[in-house]
């Protein structure tokens, strides 16, 4: 049996981007920090992320039917931590500007993706959210903030990549020297 602790310990070795998913609820910005954001499809343009079922912010954003994702930069760990809290005014002290939809784009973010809610699917103790991209843009274009081994990291803090073999193929079977 795989324990939650072992699951986190092993999969913590997979770096993930750190994003903020935000929306306007009435005239009030709300949002949450998400570390599972991925591009999903080019046709139609879709992105995805996972939200804990226990989130109190996501249901408000979901009801609005649209949201904006801000990809945080390497110097924005405090922003992510602020948006990860429960119960307070998360946007107090957070600078933002409106996306074309009006939803918040975090100031200084690397990039932003404005979306219509496409679908939500149960996924264990999380919900898989798919968003149809309506508009997107590059913000600062700087190095993104990553989550790796239980903490925030900059890409340059990770071990340098090794070169691929001359044939460009890499994988677990190559590491051991075996061939299929």
Q: What is the pLDDT of residue 165?
A: 58
From the list 52, 169, 46, the residue with the least C-alpha distance to 119 is 46
Give me the residues of the chain with pLDDT under 70, please.
Answer: 159-180
Residues 99 and 124: their CA atoms lie apart, in Å, by 32
What is the SS3 assignment for 39?
strand
Residue 78 has phi, psi (to 5 degrees) of: -65, -35
Q: What is the pLDDT of residue 136?
A: 98
Q: What is the pLDDT of residue 148?
A: 84
Residues 80 and 140: their CA atoms lie apart, in Å, by 17
Q: Return the DSSP state at 164.
A: P
Q: What is the pLDDT of residue 171?
A: 52
* pTM of the full structure: 0.85
Question: What domains are there in the chain, each with its CATH number?
Answer: 15-154 (2.30.110.10)
């Amino acid at each position: 049996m795989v324990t939650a602790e072992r699951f986190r310990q092993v999969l913590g070795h997979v770096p993930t981007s750190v994003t903020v998913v935000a929306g306007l609820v009435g005239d009030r910005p709300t949002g949450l920090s998400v570390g599972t954001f991925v591009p999903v499809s080019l046709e139609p343009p879709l992105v995805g992320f996972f939200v804990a079922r226990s989130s109190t912010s996501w249901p408000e954003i979901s009801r609005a039917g649209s949201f904006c994702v801000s990809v945080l930069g390497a110097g924005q760990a405090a922003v992510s931590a602020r948006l990860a809290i429960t119960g307070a005014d998360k946007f107090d002290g957070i600078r933002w500007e409106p996306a074309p939809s009006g939803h918040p784009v975090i100031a200084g973010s690397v990039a932003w993706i404005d979306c219509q809610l496409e679908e939500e699917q149960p996924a264990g103790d999380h919900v898989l959210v798919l968003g149809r991209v309506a508009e997107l843009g590059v913000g600062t274009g700087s190095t993104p903030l990553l989550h790796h081994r239980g903490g925030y990291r900059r890409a340059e803090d990770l071990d340098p990549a090794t070169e691929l073999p001359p044939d460009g193929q890499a994988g677990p079977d190559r590491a051991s020297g075996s061939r299929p």
